[in-house]
């Protein structure tokens, strides 16, 4: 699952509540390259979840993600989610983001 939003910090983490968000659900076998055409120029943040059990959310155990997740710009992990400044990127014409999923448990 992916969610692309123009919301800033800290609202970007609530991408699912952004009425202007762009979402995709793609089987993992087909997730090598996902194209989103027609984006208006601006600042965006991309959140990706490997929803292994297909329940539509990031499952957690003791507050830690049990499924793979990733963000645009692949920020270093710290305690808690990354700041918007670490994940936002500019779109002006063509843009490319290669997101590496992280698995903690």
Contacts 24+ apart (CB under 8 A), 95-98: 95/39, 97/46, 97/72, 97/73, 98/74
Residue 105 has pLDDT above 90, yes or no: no
pLDDT recorded at residue 27? 87
pLDDT recorded at residue 30? 78
pLDDT recorded at residue 15? 92
Comparing CA positions, the residue from 19, 77, 73 lying closest to residue 47 is: 73
Residue 10 has pLDDT above 90, yes or no: no
Sign of CA dihedral 31, 35, 36, 42: positive
Residue range 19-67, pLDDT digits in tens? 999 999 998 887 788 889 999 999 999 999 999 999 999 999 998 999 9
Q: How confident is the model at residue 75 (pLDDT cuts 50, 70, 90)?
A: very high
Exposed (0-12), middle (13-18) or buried (19+): which is 45, by Cβ within 10 Å?
buried
Q: Do strands 2-5 and 42-49 pair parallel, antiparallel, or not at all (unpaired)? A: antiparallel
Residue 41 CA to residue 10 CA, distance in Å, equals 21
How many Cα atoms are found within 13 Å in the side-chain-facing hemisphere of 40? 6
Residue 15 CA to residue 87 CA, distance in Å, equals 13
């Amino acid at each position: 699952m992916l969610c692309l939003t123009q919301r800033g910090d800290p609202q970007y983490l609530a991408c699912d509540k952004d009425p202007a968000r762009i979402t995709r659900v793609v089987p993992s076998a087909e997730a090598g390259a996902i194209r989103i055409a027609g984006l208006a120029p601006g600042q965006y943040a991309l959140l990706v979840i490997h929803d292994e059990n297909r329940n539509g959310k990031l499952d957690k155990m003791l507050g830690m993600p049990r499924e793979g997740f990733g963000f645009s710009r692949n920020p270093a992990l710290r305690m808690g989610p990354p700041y918007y400044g670490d994940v936002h990127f500019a779109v002006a014409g063509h843009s490319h983001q290669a997101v590496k999923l992280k698995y903690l448990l």
